[in-house]
Amino acid sequence: MNVGNSAKVSIITIGDELLIGQVVDTNSAWMAQELNIAGFEVHHRVAVGDIWDDIWEALDQESQRSNVVLITGGLGPTADDITKPLLCQYFGGKLVQDAATVRHLEYLFAEVFRRPLSERNLKQADVPDVCTVLSNIRGTAPGMLFKNERAVFISMPGVPHEMKGLMTYHVIPLLQEHFNPGFIEHRTLLTAGIGESDLADLVQTFEQALPGFIKMAYLPHFGMVRLRLTARGKQEEKQSFISILDSQFAQLQEVVKHVLVVNEDISMQALVGRLLKESGTTLATAESCTGGYIAHLLTAMPGSSAYFNGSVVAYSNSIKQNVLQVSASTLESAGAVSEETVIAMAQGLLAVMQTNYAIAVSGIMGPDGGTAEKPVGTVWIAVGDQNRLITRKLSLRYDRIRNIELTATNALNLLRQFIQE
Amino acid sequence: MNVGNSAKVSIITIGDELLIGQVVDTNSAWMAQELNIAGFEVHHRVAVGDIWDDIWEALDQESQRSNVVLITGGLGPTADDITKPLLCQYFGGKLVQDAATVRHLEYLFAEVFRRPLSERNLKQADVPDVCTVLSNIRGTAPGMLFKNERAVFISMPGVPHEMKGLMTYHVIPLLQEHFNPGFIEHRTLLTAGIGESDLADLVQTFEQALPGFIKMAYLPHFGMVRLRLTARGKQEEKQSFISILDSQFAQLQEVVKHVLVVNEDISMQALVGRLLKESGTTLATAESCTGGYIAHLLTAMPGSSAYFNGSVVAYSNSIKQNVLQVSASTLESAGAVSEETVIAMAQGLLAVMQTNYAIAVSGIMGPDGGTAEKPVGTVWIAVGDQNRLITRKLSLRYDRIRNIELTATNALNLLRQFIQE
């Protein structure tokens, strides 16, 4: 490829649904992450609608800015998908049928979908004769690679798992083959119990003394703040730069040690899962206000059945009584959202689930259900084992979804502290 | 504002975390949606890193393209946040302390955060003297409005709930006051049980006969396809255009009636929730492979406690036996992933939860755990009431997260069919 030695990557996402907000663009984040790991930097991302002139202009502009332009979306079989004819015209080609894609479509419809291959589906095999076809083993629309004097352009479907296959099997290997990527290395740690500003004060001296090739970023999320150090450089500098990065990262951990949760870029649930797995112990949850979200966070991870036994989502009081054996008198005197109730829920859960650890939560997530005494955002958490339970009260002040997320993360963090103590 | 009559909106999101994929940009989708409802069209979105020249160039380019430029991110109190000094220089101002913001910070730290107001936090009250300050009641960094001969620029923090407050209380009212928005109306329906291509064949004649001001889009999601009709026009055309849109939408519903789920843009869980609420009935779920995700989908909606009693997340066999009373012999002879087991789970659930309806699911979500006889993606679902249960088997072929999502949606859809029959 006649595109110089180092790659500058732009991502263009195409689709009206992105501009009217009907769909959240998760593709770009995934692509950026994978490219980063492979040593490539995305420095510009743009979203345009299914509009001929806007897409055309984006191709012009991004290829002036970058020498690699990755395009997702607009390749479906329906009339609102105009990317393919546009690319054909942009690069001065004409549509021809690609034999390998026809064979793949025949296979897909005969063996996987088990329905007839329609004329409309067969059109997915028509590609501009000026592109290199990249096979899409997970779907019907192939990837297409184009070149001009400014850049390499690769067009992929917007369906996430199809795009991911193309990126993994074609795009990243191609870029690695044809460009000499610099290196990008991140070191990320997670803190809890400190706000972004206080954390910034804490690390100010450290931050100002960082060498120029290392950049620090603050990433607040779910009430916790991650700190990320990023080193960038040329391949030949990699070894020495990374050793400096590691030593700086060790220093940073010292500076924040009283609020440090973990010195890796992993989620709280992954951390808790690992602690349980390593110690061969098990967990169950009794969830009122989080409604199964803690269980979902844990079970979304492969292999969680090794340490997660299950959950009682006790949304109604009758389930707190019947399944978790919370007494009617506790519910009446202290209320469903109280320290007494979450302790009783955790005890009942340990009895019925026979796990080593229990998490129990009850709260008022909003927008309704608050009282003067227990306003929306009041949450009680209990975590522990057969011998000991500890509790915490939260006073949240966000919307329902965020309150659910924050409660889940806080409950998992409390269990982490309990286990690590 | 000296910016013409109709608004063209660009969104610039600022932050390295977006370009390395550490964070998914949900802000842009929300902003686009709200702007759309208010009659404004976002026609370009761009993401840039915390890099001076890139942000500067984005301001230049987007203000050539649009007369409203909304900017999120980069306003935090830490050293990687460079948006404010950049905007100050871009518009030729100097930083001055804003008295109203100081008062708001004093209030926030005294009453809400209950910690001292540091020098660093107080800096949030410094604003360029060439901007109009928009108060941010949900956080420390105020919004800022700038104008030049090309466009109006509004800068907001990237923290979602702060941005949402600024959009709702300031940005959208300001735009509505100063621009004469056209109208944008959507009509969306949800189909199930038909692929995108077959659906396109089904509606082809209808689609080709649509008037020019109505556009149709296909939105596949979780194994279902939404069809959206969008009408655009001037305010004076609104009445007549919407009446045509409604009549076209009625026709479309006729065309797809055998695969139509609902003629609204609502989620499957919202639809099921409404059916339950309207009939005064209740639901519980017994979830093995979905691990609480169905319960989470339902409880993430306000008011779900009216119809959702809870869930037993039976990730281990012992819970299927102890809580749901699935017999050891059923689990042994038929296996945990079988029609017999999901029927027994549903029956046990109805007994313990005393709800009108039950959903029970068990399956192998991957990546491990499959066998030749029951490969990864094998799922059994049972739904029903005390009198009758119906079952369905799924054979999914995606990754773990997608398999969980598809199982949840299919289970909810099966219950919808059961209720509506």
B314 and A316 in contact by Cβ < 8 A?
no
Residue A328 class from Cβ within 10 Å (0-12 exposed, 13-18 middle, 19+ buried)? exposed
Does residue A53 lie within any of the structural domains? yes
A44 and B45 in contact by Cβ < 8 A?
no
What per-residue confidence (pLDDT) applies to B4?
A: 43
Mean pLDDT of B170-174: 92
Domain boundary among B157, B178, B199: B178
* pLDDT higher at A114 or B145: B145
d(CA B74, CA B158): 7
What per-residue confidence (pLDDT) applies to A378?
A: 96
Type of residue at B345:
M
Mean pLDDT of B306-332: 95
- On whether both A312 and A166 belong to a single domain, the answer is no
Chain-centre distance for alpha carbon B58 = 27
Does residue A3 lie within any of the structural domains? no
Backbone dihedral angles phi then psi of residue A364, each to the nearest 5 degrees: -115, 110
Specify whether the CB–CB gap between B324 and B312 falls below 8 A: yes
d(CA B67, CA B152): 6
Specify whether the CB–CB gap between A48 and A19 falls below 8 A: yes
Specify whether the CB–CB gap between B268 and B277 falls below 8 A: no
What per-residue confidence (pLDDT) applies to A363?
A: 97
- On whether both A237 and A308 belong to a single domain, the answer is no
Residue B99 scores a pLDDT above 50: yes
Does residue A24 lie within any of the structural domains? yes
- On whether both B415 and B355 belong to a single domain, the answer is yes
d(CA B407, CA B362): 9
Question: What are the chain B neighbours of A10 within 8 Å (beta carbons)?
Answer: none
Three-state DSSP at A215 gives strand
Mutate to test the interface with A, among B304, B308, B316 (most CBs of A within 10 A): B316
Does residue B71 lie within any of the structural domains? yes
**Cross-strand pairs, A144:** A133, A155
Tokens 């096979």, residue?
A135
User: Does the beta carbon of A131 lie under 8 angstroms from any beta carbon of chain B?
Assistant: no
Question: What are the chain A neighbours of B198 within 8 Å (beta carbons)?
Answer: 115, 118
User: Does the beta carbon of B193 lie under 8 angstroms from any beta carbon of chain A?
Assistant: no
- On whether both B66 and B131 belong to a single domain, the answer is yes
- On whether both A234 and A307 belong to a single domain, the answer is no
CATH number for the domain spanning A199: value is 3.30.70.2860
- On whether both A64 and A208 belong to a single domain, the answer is no
CA angle A398, A401, A402 (to 5 degrees): 45
What per-residue confidence (pLDDT) applies to A172?
A: 92
Specify whether the CB–CB gap between B284 and B309 falls below 8 A: yes
A315 and B313 in contact by Cβ < 8 A?
no
Quote the domain boundaries for residue A103: 8-178
Does residue A1 lie within any of the structural domains? no
CA-to-CA dists, residue A285 to A281, A282, A361, B116, B240, angstroms:
14, 11, 8, 37, 55
- On whether both B132 and B276 belong to a single domain, the answer is no
Strands across the sheet containing A308-314: A389-395, A378-384, A357-363, A283-287, A308-314, B308-314, B283-287, B357-363, B378-384, B389-395
Three-state DSSP at B192 gives strand
d(CA A7, CA A28): 17
CA angle B27, A394, A338 (to 5 degrees): 130
Q: Which two tokens stand for residue A308?
A: 């997660």
Q: Which two tokens stand for residue B159?
A: 């923290």
Most confident of A359-368, B174-183, B195-204: A359-368
Does residue A396 lie within any of the structural domains? yes
- On whether both A143 and A190 belong to a single domain, the answer is no
Question: What are the chain A neighbours of B225 within 8 Å (beta carbons)?
Answer: none
Helix ranges restricted to H, B217-325: 238-255, 268-279, 293-299, 317-322
Does residue B3 lie within any of the structural domains? no
Specify whether the CB–CB gap between A101 and A182 falls below 8 A: no
Nearest to B290 by CA among A315, A356, A297, A312: A297
pLDDT-based confidence at residue B19 (cuts at 50, 70, 90): confident
Residues 96-115 of A with CB under 8 A from B: 112-113, 115
ipTM score for this prediction: 0.79
Specify whether the CB–CB gap between A389 and A347 falls below 8 A: yes
d(CA A347, CA A178): 60
Residue B358 scores a pLDDT above 60: yes
Judged by phi (left if over 0) then psi (alpha if -120 to 50, else beta), residue B28 lies in: alpha
Domain boundary among B239, B262, B285: B262
CATH number for the domain spanning B306: value is 3.90.950.20
Question: What are the chain A neighbours of B348 within 8 Å (beta carbons)?
Answer: none
Domain boundary among A216, A240, A262: A262
The strand ranges marked E within A271-403 are: 283-287, 308-314, 357-363, 378-384, 389-395
- On whether both B258 and B282 belong to a single domain, the answer is no
Helix ranges restricted to H, A134-213: 160-166, 172-178, 196-208
Three-state DSSP at A84 gives helix
Share of residues in chain A with pLDDT > 90 (%): 70
Helix (H) or strand (E) holding A227: strand A224-233
Number of helices and strands (H, E) in chain B?
A: 16, 17
Specify whether the CB–CB gap between B17 and B51 falls below 8 A: no
pLDDT one-digit tens code per residue, B274-306? 999 999 999 999 999 999 999 999 999 999 999
Question: What are the chain B neighbours of A20 within 8 Å (beta carbons)?
Answer: 32-33, 36, 42, 184, 186, 230
Judged by phi (left if over 0) then psi (alpha if -120 to 50, else beta), residue B355 lies in: beta
> What is the distance in angstroms between the Cα of A64 and the nearest Cα belonging to chain B?
13
d(CA B338, CA B374): 9
d(CA B346, CA B329): 17
Q: What is the CA radius of gyration of chain B?
A: 26
Question: What are the chain B neighbours of A105 within 8 Å (beta carbons)?
Answer: none
> What is the distance in angstroms between the Cα of B286 and the nearest Cα belonging to chain A?
10
- On whether both B344 and B281 belong to a single domain, the answer is yes
What per-residue confidence (pLDDT) applies to B218?
A: 84
CB-CB: which of B28, B197, B366 is closest to A77?
B197
pLDDT-based confidence at residue B1 (cuts at 50, 70, 90): very low
- On whether both B57 and B137 belong to a single domain, the answer is yes
- Helices A400-420 and A268-279 cross at an angle (nearest 10°) of 30
Q: Minimal Cα distance from B320: which residue of A? A: A310
What per-residue confidence (pLDDT) applies to B5?
A: 61
Q: Which two tokens stand for residue B130?
A: 């060439």
Type of residue at A419:
I
Q: Minimal Cα distance from B116: which residue of A? A: A198
Question: What are the chain B neighbours of A51 within 8 Å (beta carbons)?
Answer: 43
Q: Which two tokens stand for residue B12?
A: 């610039």
d(CA B283, CA B293): 15
Question: What are the chain A neighbours of B230 within 8 Å (beta carbons)?
Answer: 16, 20
B300 and A196 in contact by Cβ < 8 A?
no
B287 and A287 in contact by Cβ < 8 A?
no
CATH number for the domain spanning A147: value is 3.40.980.10
d(CA B410, CA B222): 9
What per-residue confidence (pLDDT) applies to B3?
A: 40
Domain total for chain A? 3
What per-residue confidence (pLDDT) applies to B2?
A: 38
What residues of chain A score a pLDDT lower than 70?
A: 1-5
- On whether both B85 and B44 belong to a single domain, the answer is yes
Buried b (16+ CB within 10 A) or exposed e, B193-227: ebbbbbbbbbbeebbeebeeebbbbbbbebbbbbb
- Helices A238-255 and A196-208 cross at an angle (nearest 10°) of 130
Does residue B216 lie within any of the structural domains? yes
Three-state DSSP at A26 gives coil
